[in-house]
């Protein structure tokens, strides 16, 4: 499980697995640790799980080509190619789900399964403009106050305060650029119908797991990806894999059973 580097990204391998490999991709201002609990569950199910630090996050160096959605997805594909991974189930949380979707849709010979954990795809009208406003507020947020306010808003009031403070502290570590540039890239991508294009291209079953206030419009998601399984957690904020892990684990297990 010691950290290694491939295609310029740090990664950690959990278990060996008999057949499938799961590539776990963290979200905005996060790192591989946010996906470690899910990796442990997969190891218990005799799978191999790989957690990564995306470029500019955690222990991985910043990317030379910026934080746009396509560029970050290209890094993810290059990583899978560098490790010669096949039959990859990619699981992305939040913005990591967006990067995972684009990577998988662009290489369906290598990626065979896709799980999006409360990712910003198939949003309601005006989503791109709203996300662009968030990016602008983060660009000028040298104190980190805006970022902290956003992260805290992702937790319902009955959340475990220890988990809230742990997540707030971890998401405060990345630079201001890492906080705003990926969000600005997300806004541009959605404005260009990037999510619609990628969801239509991924013509295989996918699992979307939403929070108590999901970013996705479920009706639009079902229209763009009629083969999608849409799951709704109970009593969870945005960090579903940390707040209600048993719910996420159960949905993931069933997705694996159904899709083979």
Which conformational region is residue 56 in: left (phi greater than 0), alpha (psi within -120 to 50 degrees), or beta? left
Give the percent of the chain with pLDDT over 70.
Answer: 99
As a whole number of angstroms, the distance between CA 52 and CA 48 comes to 13
Higher pLDDT, 19 or 66: 66
pLDDT at position 53 over 70: yes
Average pLDDT over the chain, rounded to an integer:
96
pLDDT band, residue 2 (cuts 50/70/90): confident
pLDDT at position 193 over 90: yes
The alpha carbon dihedral of 203, 193, 70, 55 has a sign of negative
**The predicted structure's pLDDT at residue 18:** 66
**The predicted structure's pLDDT at residue 1:** 61
């Amino acid at each position: 499980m010691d950290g290694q580097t491939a295609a310029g990204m740090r990664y950690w391998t959990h278990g060996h697995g008999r057949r499938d490999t799961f590539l776990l991709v963290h979200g905005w201002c996060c790192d591989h640790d946010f996906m470690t609990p899910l990796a442990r569950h997969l190891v218990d199910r005799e799978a191999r799980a790989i957690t990564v630090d995306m470029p500019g996050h955690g222990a991985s160096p910043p990317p030379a080509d910026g934080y746009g959605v396509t560029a970050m997805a290209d890094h993810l594909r290059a990583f899978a190619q560098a490790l010669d991974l096949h039959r990859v189930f990619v699981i992305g949380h939040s913005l990591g789900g967006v990067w995972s979707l684009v990577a998988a849709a662009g290489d369906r010979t290598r990626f065979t399964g896709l799980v999006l954990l409360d990712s910003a795809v198939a949003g309601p009208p005006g989503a791109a403009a709203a996300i662009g406003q968030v990016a602008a507020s983060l660009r000028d947020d040298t104190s980190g106050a805006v970022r902290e306010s956003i992260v805290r808003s992702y937790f319902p009031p009955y959340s475990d305060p220890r988990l809230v403070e742990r997540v707030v502290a971890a998401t405060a570590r990345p630079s201001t650029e890492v906080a705003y540039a990926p969000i600005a890239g997300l806004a541009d991508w959605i404005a260009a119908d990037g999510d619609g294009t990628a969801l239509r291209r991924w013509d295989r079953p996918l699992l979307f797991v939403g929070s108590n206030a999901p970013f996705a419009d479920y009706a639009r998601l079902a229209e763009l990806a009629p083969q999608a399984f849409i799951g709704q957690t109970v009593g969870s904020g945005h960090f579903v894999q940390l707040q209600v892990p048993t719910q996420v684990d159960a949905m993931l297990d069933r997705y694996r059973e159904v899709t083979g």
